[in-house]
A and B are shown apart, each in its own frame.
Chain A
Amino acid sequence: MSPNPVRDVSADREPLPAPSSPTTAGPKRLRFRQPVWWLFAYIPAVVPAAIVIAIAATLLEASHLHNFGAAFFGLTFNSSTNQFGMLVFIVGSLLTAIPALLLSMGIGLGIAIASTTYLPRYLARILDPFVDLLAGIPSVVYGIWAFVVVAPIFGLVLNPWAVEHLSFVPGFAGNSLSPTTAGYGLPISIFVLTLMALPITTLLIRDALQSIPKDLWESGLALGATRWEVVRRVSLRQGSRGIWSAAFLGFGRAMGETVAVAMVIGSTAKLPTNVYDVTYTMASFMFETLDAAYGNSLYLSALAELALVLLAITFAVNLVGRRLVAHIYAEQVAGL
């Protein structure tokens, strides 16, 4: 009997899977007959996880946690006596990131409400891309602009005004030791960080407000509420998850920002004594001092530990923030 010239394709196929109930139908996954295909399919797919693990493992290996514990969370930083207390930088990061986050959340809320509620749609469509464009400007370009253009404004106008008029507020009274006239220090760092966190917070809040069902909006208006009252009592409550995620992701961005802050923070390893003072943040300190640490193994290990702490903070913050908006795995968010 001559073999059938038409190849029997049914032998190549896997048997059909048992029909699943329509309610549990997810995207169907492919299976492979030959194990070699697994290599091509599964190994590239886990690349991001592998990179994350590699980064954490490398930093752990580089630090060996030689300097951890009380020495790490000390206030004294002096490389000539091998005292690497890193609390100054953690405090500096928080002192810049938290005010910047609050400011950018406030401005972001305002912009998002204006764009979704008050502006005519054609105007919102023209103006919204400008906010998104803020995310595209590189950090180092922000830095040089802030250093040359904005720092004199802070040093010659805003800081002296605040010293004169706000000195009754604790911390706002300047002293001769702090370089208020140069303009570098906490206020301009907060300004730059606010600008850099603004696109994330605005985008996520806008997304949250836009995803609220039209019915809720209309029923609110029909009950006699003004637009503002509907926004405050309906939209902001319904969209609270998105707004919280904006806060978390914006905080992660502000904590991790490196170069722009390094250019304007003043780069001095001390706790600020007033609100105009120079200090350091974790990221900018790590960036500027890696060269100096070369050859000193304890110094390098202390820096790697600081990197691990920053990594842990940004991981935790990003994890919570992303979980809150897990349903929007959208291309817009992918851009941030």
Chain B
Amino acid sequence: MATNEGPNERIDPADDLRRGETWGLRWRTGFDRWMGLLLPLLFAVAILPIADLVYFISAKAVPTLSWHVVTSYSDYQAHDTLGVPLMTTFLFMALATSIAVVLGLFGGIAAAEFLPERAAGWVRMSANLLAGMPSVIVGYFGYFAFVLYFGWGLSFIAGVFTLAFFMTPYVYRTADLAFSSIPRPIREAAYGSGAKPVQYILRVGAPIAFPQILTGVFLAMAIGVGETAPIILTTQPGLLVPSTVFQPAVFMTYLIWTGFSQPAGSVALTLAYQAAFFIIVVVLALNIVVRVVAGRFRKRLQGLYQ
């Protein structure tokens, strides 16, 4: 306290050091330096597992792959071929993504442009809740709603709709976000010069929001292609590509789920590694595309603001 100090007391910063405060100072700076060295090492906790995982799956799967394995559409369990699962997964993803894009895109744009602010807040919150919902619950919903009540049975179409509902919130949120973040002057300029809502959305909003919406769709696909519970609970695995929507169909992740505990060298385990390899490749590719597109989008938006 300043009042307790006598008038003759010297005020010298070096007093601290003379009184033996060097220890405290050294400890403080030393601790800071040690933290600077040790904390970055924690990155290893994240990077080592992902590196080992990708290496392990690739090392197991790549030597067993051949052109024949990927293109043969015979019974996949008997011949250790991936043609049927790849094709069926593609059909699953194509249909589910289409449904999710239709629902999510229309919904997101409508929420950003038309819905009253309060209602939009509620719907956004429910989209967040849906995105945070455990996949097994969506699977249960698909089982009780589509398989049992709608009477579709454990079929391709039940899996498609369950997967689509799982993917919808991701598309919805990016579409909503993309249209909400279009700078106000642009909206006002469009409406001020007499554009109708549809004209604004198609001619002004869509070109600006397109890259971001695309990242949302890719993200939803990356999440959907690796999902297991929603599909397995609602679809029976079939040995062939389904010819009608009510037939059983096999999804890639099912191969991993059935094969992971099989003995080494068995067909099921080989199929599991191959399926895991293809899923990782697709997911990583989609993630990289999302990053690149998102980076370019950010630059573009910065250009818009200036």
Contact = CB atoms under 8 A, between A and B. Distances in A.
A314 B137 CA distance: 10
B32 A136 contact: no
Contacts of B204: none
Contact of A315 (B129, B131, B170): B129
B56 A130 contact: no
B43 A140 contact: no
Given A41-B110, A127-B47, A263 B260 contact: yes
B42 A107 contact: yes
B140 A110 contact: no
Interface string A6-35: 000100000000000000001111100000
Contact of A318 (B132, B227, B280): B132
A133 B50 contact: yes
A102 interface: no
A123 B41 CA distance: 13
B287 A119 contact: no
B124 A304 contact: no
A118 B36 contact: yes
A45 B111 contact: yes
Interface stretch (B68-76, B87-95, B114-122, B241-249): B114-122
Given A44-B107, A118-B39, A141-B57, A27 B117 contact: yes
Interface stretch (A70-78, A155-163, A222-230, A236-244): A222-230
Given A329-B124, A334-B216, A141 B276 contact: yes
B138 interface: yes
Contact of A30 (B113, B123, B261, B280): B113
Interface string A45-67: 11111011011001101100000
Contacts of A143: 256, 260
Contacts, number: 285
A148 B270 CA distance: 13
A331 interface: yes
Nearest to B143: A290
B222 interface: yes
A110 B38 CA distance: 9
With most chain A CB atoms within 10 A of its CB, the pick from B119, B169, B226, B261 is B226
B284 interface: yes
B227 A334 contact: no
A143 B45 CA distance: 17
Nearest to B47: A130
B283 interface: yes
A310 B134 contact: yes
Closest 5 CB pairs of A and B: A138-B226, A256-B134, A45-B110, A44-B106, A114-B39
Interface of A: 9, 26-30, 40-42, 44-49, 51-52, 54-55, 58-59, 61-62, 107, 110-111, 113-115, 117-119, 123, 127, 129-131, 133-134, 136-145, 147-149, 195, 198-199, 202, 226-229, 249, 252-253, 255-259, 263, 283, 286-287, 290, 303-304, 307, 310-311, 314-315, 318-319, 322, 329-331, 334-336
7 contacts: A29-B115, A127-B40, A136-B222, A144-B57, A147-B260, A226-B31, A257-B134
